Amino acid sequence: MRHGKYPLIVTFLVPPVLLYVIFVVSPYLQAFQISTTDWLGYSADANSVGLANFKTLWNDDYVWNALKNNAILLALVPVLTIVLGLFFAAMLNMGGRKGRAGVSGVRGSSFYRTVYFFPQVLSVVIIALLWKEVYHPNKGLLTSALNSVGLGAPTWLGDPRTAFWCVLAVMIWSNVGFYVVLFGAAMSAIPKEIYEAVMLDGASRLTTLWKVTIPLLWDTVQVAWVYLAIFALDGFILVQLMTNGGPNFSTDVIGVRMYDTAFGSETKFGYASAIGVVMFFLTLTVAVLALRASKRDRIEYS
Amino acid sequence: MTTLDKPASVALPDEPPGPADRPVRRELGVANVLSHGFLLFWGALTVLPLLWMFISSFKSNAEILADPWSLPGALRFDNWSRAWSGAHIGQYFLNSLVVVAGSVTLTMLMGATAAYVFARYEFRGKQVVYYLFVGGLMFPVFLALVPLFFVVRNAGLFGTWTGLILVYAAYSLPFTVFFLTAFFRTLPTAVAEAALVDGCGHFRLFFQVMLPMARPGLISVAIFNFLSHWNQFLLPQVLMQGDESKWVLAQGLAALSVNQGYAGDYAQLFAGLTIAVVPVLLVYILFQRQVQSGLTAGQLK
């Protein structure tokens, strides 16, 4: 490997590095700088205003409202998704028992896994548009189902009291299948002998799940937690396409705030970048906290 | 794992060691019905909206409004053709194909070459450049949005497919490089050394020996990138404003949904959505294993 390796390194590395620096690294760096200006987009003048944008942010009730919604998502989406994901993964991978010697999946588990994963391969745009129709107050699936059994239905996305929960439900719906597959893969890596031993000891299914499977899965759960937390801080596409933050800002999230500030009626690029910087630090903090909180001793199978 | 040390005879009292088989099986019967019930319930919850969309794409608007749960009176394929040509979904579909074909090719080429260098060669500053790439995995795209808009505009690439292709590729590099570097490291060094001893050049070594050996990894990453590029919405929405004839599928569908609100043509919207869903679901069903492993690896590492 000694002779003539530098031509290869240069030709192989320079184009990707250039592309990456121009379109990824430089925008990230510029964002911090723009966030300290009063730049209004298309004109050339941008005056440095120091931390004034952040001060405005602090007093911006719309931002706080959006952050509150993100906080509720952050509290609920990861927990519910992980619980449902673990539950179904456990059903699929340990639902059946072959005699007394070990656990196996229920019949048709690979079929279920395939179906559950559907939402994951669909674009979020399609999920948002489809569910907007499902929630439609006249011709949607939900309303007419409730009407046909004689129950009145709310206007779902049109009502400030229900809209947020409707969006939250879609977030969980679209994520669960992915975690079923992920947890399922982790479960099938647990050695069969452990289950055999536990079952010989007479442990019930629930005990096995609670005392053996979940502790052994903790690494994966922790990773899931971080990813779902980051997801809960975003939620932009679903919200923008389903409700655009309405009605009456009941579903607003920080991503929609930022998008509207930058590309809405006014192009307050400086202020929008400040929101972006806040999002950046929030994401970082949440990721670090989630990793910290779920830290346990690593278990390795020998 | 203290339970492992317990002798088997310390079984729970309610499960006698002798004729334990029968009660166990009965308990299982109930549990199985329960678990199948829950599994079926979630399966239905997943499939129902999709099935509804598919069925509604054949109905007339009057049928859709009258009863969402009914079956179509006839298979009205004209909904599909109205969506395909009238709402330009066909055009957007082809646009998406062009952009994704370009961006996935570029991503794989650049990702594979960079990853190969990181995995197989030593040079000064390697760690720094590698972590520069992988660091991109952690940052939200949102932060870069505003400056990216101007970077692309100043480069004269605003509203062009070339711009989208370059940006998609750039933002896919962190994961692609990360995944493929790990993959190239696992390939046997002996083969590479043998080839070099036999007088194979470094370039030929890459294209004729290493690349074919890395095929499973390349396919997984390519499928992952295909799906994530195909499903992009935020980047085209920011970088492809204006000229509607160049829009990608996601933008076209979003616009169709808005127009449907005014025109009341629900059947067309359902047909448009179905046109967008069917190919992706087919790709998924054909490549299930790779898609599942690619996506689980992709989103979490």
**Span A203-226, pLDDT tens digits:** 777 788 888 888 888 888 888 888
State the CB neighbour count (10 A cutoff) for residue B16: 11
State the CB neighbour count (10 A cutoff) for residue A108: 15
Residues 6+ apart with CB under 8 A from A193: none
Please, which residues bridge with residue A48 across strands?
A37
Give SS3 for A132: helix
For B29-81, what is each residue's pLDDT tens digit?
Answer: 666 677 788 889 999 999 999 999 999 999 888 888 878 788 888 888 888 89
pLDDT at B9 over 50: no
Is A12 or A192 the better-scoring residue by pLDDT?
A: A12
pLDDT at B21 over 80: no
pLDDT at B117 over 90: yes
Q: What is the mean pLDDT of residues A133-144?
A: 85
pLDDT at B210 over 80: yes
CB within 8 Å: B300 and A224 = yes
Provide the CA B265 distance to its chain's centre, in angstroms. Answer: 30
Question: What distance in Å separates the CA atoms of residue B142 and residue B237, rounded to the nearest whole number?
Answer: 13
Residue A299: predicted pLDDT: 60
Q: Is B139 buried (19+), middle (13-18) or exposed (0-12) by CB count in 10 A?
A: middle
How many CA atoms does the CB half-sphere of B295 hold within 13 Å? 23
- Report chain A's mean pLDDT, rounded to a whole number: 85
Q: In chain A, what percentage of residues exceed pLDDT 90?
A: 34
Give SS3 for A189: coil
pLDDT at B164 over 90: yes
Q: Which residues of A205-233 are buried (b: 16+ CB within 10 A; e: fewer)?
A: beebbeebbeebbbebbbbbbbbbbbbbb
* Under 8 Å between Cβ of B213 and B236: no
- Report chain B's mean pLDDT, rounded to a whole number: 84
CB within 8 Å: B114 and A34 = no
pLDDT at B23 over 80: no
| A247: preceding bond cis by omega (within 30 degrees) | yes
Q: Who among A84, A92, A241 is closest to B254 (CB)? A: A241
User: Chain B interface, mutation test: which of A2, A3, A8, A82, most B Cβ atoms within 10 Å?
Assistant: A8
Alpha helices in A189-217 (DSSP H): 192-200, 205-207, 214-216
pLDDT at A1 over 50: no
Q: Is A290 buried (19+), middle (13-18) or exposed (0-12) by CB count in 10 A?
A: buried
Q: Which residues of B273-298 are buried (b: 16+ CB within 10 A; e: fewer)?
A: bbbbbeebeebbeebbebbbbbbbbb
For A263-296, what is each residue's pLDDT tens digit?
Answer: 887 788 889 999 999 988 988 888 788 777 766 6
Nearest CA among A259, A178, A117, A45 for reference residue B283? A117
Q: What does the DSSP 8-state code read for residue A104?
A: E
CB within 8 Å: B277 and A126 = yes
Nearest CA among B115, B132, B100 for reference residue B218? B115
Q: Which of B68-77, B168-177, B221-230 has the highest mean pLDDT?
A: B168-177
What tokens were used for A189? 């890596």
Nearest CA among A120, A125, A233 for reference residue A182? A120
What tokens were used for A253? 């999230």
Residue A300: predicted pLDDT: 60
Give the minimum alpha-carbon distance from A243 to chain B in angstroms, rounded to a whole number.
12
Provide the angle, in degrees to the nearest 10, between the axes of the packed helices B215-230 and B288-300.
Answer: 80
Q: Which residue shows structure tokens 């059994």?
A: A149
Q: What is the mean pLDDT of residues A22-43?
A: 87
Nearest CA among A282, A298, A301 for reference residue A68? A282
All residues of chain B having their beta carbon less than 8 Å from the beta carbon of residue A24 are 136, 144, 170-171, 173-174
pLDDT at B300 over 60: no
For B124-157, what is each residue's pLDDT tens digit?
Answer: 889 999 989 888 877 778 888 889 998 999 999 9
CB within 8 Å: A129 and B257 = yes
Q: Which of A229-233, B29-33, B117-121 has the highest mean pLDDT?
A: B117-121
pLDDT at A97 over 60: no
For B89-113, what is each residue's pLDDT tens digit?
Answer: 999 999 999 999 999 999 999 999 9
Question: What distance in Å separates the CA atoms of residue B230 and residue B153, rounded to the nearest whole number?
Answer: 23
